[in-house]
A and B are shown apart, each in its own frame.
Chain A
């Protein structure tokens, strides 16, 4: 595993380690700006976490960013396993599982298909290949609201209405546009001679893909997985439209929990629910952020 390459600029720009006063001021300025910005970016998350650890009484009396006086994970516990969503009082945990059952296959399938598509687009030239690729790319940009109704009809025809495989299918279809783009842009940076060498060595279509290309593709695989998993996990519109009650993903459940029309608002529970729903994706971003950057460098950004 290689870390993200060191900063070019710093290396090129830094004078030998003589910290003159201007230099010091510069460093203080840089760190000052970063810390202020980071605090601003973190404030929403911090207020969520702190609110989720307070009791309702404390929430009513304090402010958003006050530190909980008597931290309690009651709200978390309740939201996870016992809060009532309509008549079901099992908390979010079941829906959490649904989200995994949707997001994991949808991510793997769309990343797999995208890798193969990108492979074909980057290594085979055929009539109209660029136009075809452009058409796929445009699919990235389609607003999802407009596909809800026709997609519902299609799922019905396929007999997948209301099911988890149906949702997986929907996410794969719209995810494949992105993954194809990612992989194609990555694969065109692989030197053509590698493919030629592999052909001379007798490697066929699949051997080139699995033995030669895939092992060097992990940066872009990571980007695609992060992108897809986050997208599918956070989806609400498809989930609410295409999943039957017991198959609903966690976002829909959180919405049902938070968006009450007549219940009292339990803000600590709302925040805990929001946090629980966001945890897997936050963890992925924090843990794999550097790979995300690497992958972007390796292909997603043209520079």
Chain B
């Protein structure tokens, strides 16, 4: 009796797995961490687009921790010799996978479709290695936004701050009035998102390049960096006591409800704003983070392509081409809240914030101020990036002095190298 049941269960398990594997020849399996809300809708856009071309979509969602669990799953898949057709990766991760020689080659499609001319170089550098296109950018996010509840500011007669000093002044006033100045979630990546803005805002683009992108010892130890940490300490005083571990969207909700006045967050916050039936740029103002006007921090989701058998190559190429098509880039980013990764897409259908983003992108590209975000994996490889997270978040959550923090940053980076 028991054994019959067991064999039935095994048979059922086998058949289930076989059917799971029985993909149509023309299908793609995509590993990503966009499981809900606008993200999932955006994936739906891509799926529909491919379906029209007769390419099936095998979903492999793994949510959690900005792709950490997905990264584990991806490593397991690749190690087992069964990589997905494509996987969502952030910029530096594409570099790291590419250096391991584990990515496929899209150059033929890229040449045919002329991607080279429409993608900004700073982004192209992550997608192209040794002259080979290995990943396709889906979007451009801008993390250096300051979101402001317009009503709170108006009621209190405040102007959006343009520098960190102005920010401090505004925040102090808000604090006096009993309003939480800054909505924040105490997670390492959120702490570092703020840190990015402060480094760029206080040190300027050249300092950001030297300290964050080039990890120049002198810059990291400089007085400017000490000032950056001083400002971080100030900001710690502007967040409410319950910030620890809070998800970013809960922080956004605080701004939407007027419990807090501002939030330093990427443009994905727009999804929350729209969902709350508010208008970005009107109810919730979008201004560049203090002192960062003219610079454009970015992070981009890529679909990195893995080497798949010849039989699946056509489908993979169709996926890549689809992702890069102007129509998809427009449709996807309208849903996702970001802006297209190619610069030749019209911004007509986008909201005010996105339009500003697109404009700022163009000028940042021409002035060389399009800079990869540390918090979002476009500045340093994971080991160094996380080591820097450690210092930033530890400083933010303790009474470590700014000098010690700057020194710890250098030590941590060297240890991780």
Contact = CB atoms under 8 A, between A and B. Distances in A.
Partners in one complex: yes
Interface of A: 84-88, 98, 101-102, 104-105, 108-109, 112, 148-149, 151-153, 155-157, 161-166, 168, 240-242, 244-247, 252, 255-265
Interface string B57-68: 111111111100
Interface of B: 2, 5-6, 9-10, 12-14, 16-17, 20-21, 29, 32-40, 43-44, 47, 57-66, 69, 72-73, 75-77, 79-82, 247, 249-250, 253, 268, 271-272, 275, 337
B16 A101 contact: yes
Contacts of B33: 261
Contacts of A164: 13-14, 16-17, 20
25 contacts: A85-B36, A86-B34, A87-B57, A101-B12, A101-B16, A102-B13, A108-B9, A109-B6, A149-B75, A162-B77, A162-B82, A163-B21, A164-B16, A166-B17, A241-B72, A244-B21, A246-B59, A252-B62, A256-B61, A256-B64, A257-B36, A259-B63, A260-B36, A263-B40, A264-B37
A86 B47 CA distance: 11
Given A87-B43, A246-B20, A259-B64, A240 B72 contact: yes
Contacts of A161: 77, 80-82
A28 B32 CA distance: 57
A202 B29 CA distance: 58
Chain B's interface: helix, strand, loop or mixed, by majority? helix
B198 to A, nearest CB: 23
A257 B36 CA distance: 7
A241 B69 CA distance: 8
A263 B38 CA distance: 7
Contact of A245 (B60, B66, B76): B60
Contact of B17 (A87, A148, A247, A260): A247
* Residue of A84, A162, A262 most packed against chain B (CB within 10 A): A262
Given A86-B35, A240-B69, A245-B60, 19 more contacts: A86-B43, A104-B9, A108-B9, A148-B72, A148-B75, A152-B80, A156-B79, A156-B81, A162-B80, A162-B82, A163-B20, A163-B21, A241-B73, A244-B21, A244-B60, A247-B16, A247-B17, A257-B63, A262-B37
Contacts of A255: 62-64, 69
* Residue of A165, A168, A242, A259 most packed against chain B (CB within 10 A): A259
Contacts of A247: 16-17, 20
A103 B36 CA distance: 27
A148 B73 CA distance: 9
Nearest to A245: B60
A269 to B, nearest CB: 10
A259 B43 contact: no
Chain A's interface: helix, strand, loop or mixed, by majority? helix
A153 B58 contact: no
A262 B80 contact: no
Given A101-B12, A105-B9, A260-B63, A165 B79 contact: no
Nearest to B78: A152
A112 B5 CA distance: 13
List 5 A-B pairs, minimum CB-CB distance, nearest first: A263-B37, A156-B80, A263-B36, A161-B80, A245-B60
Nearest to B275: A264
A256 B75 contact: no
Given A101-B9, A101-B16, A244 B76 contact: no
A143 to B, nearest CB: 14
Nearest to B47: A87
* Residue of A86, A157, A247 most packed against chain B (CB within 10 A): A86
B44 A108 contact: no
A163 to B, nearest CB: 4
Nearest to A148: B76
A105 B73 contact: no
A147 B276 CA distance: 44
* Residue of B17, B58, B82 most packed against chain A (CB within 10 A): B17
A247 B37 CA distance: 22
* Residue of A166, A168, A261, A264 most packed against chain B (CB within 10 A): A261
A34 to B, nearest CB: 33
Contact of A86 (B9, B59, B247, B275): B59
A245 to B, nearest CB: 4
Nearest to A86: B61
A85 B35 contact: yes
Contacts of A101: 9, 12-13, 16
* Residue of B32, B37, B275 most packed against chain A (CB within 10 A): B37
A245 B61 contact: yes
B17 A163 contact: yes
A153 B79 contact: yes
Nearest to B45: A87
Nearest to B336: A262
A265 B250 contact: yes
Contact of B75 (A88, A152, A155): A152
B328 to A, nearest CB: 15
B13 A261 contact: no
Contacts of B29: 244-245
Nearest to A258: B63
Contact of B44 (A87, A153, A240): A87
A220 to B, nearest CB: 15
A85 B293 CA distance: 38
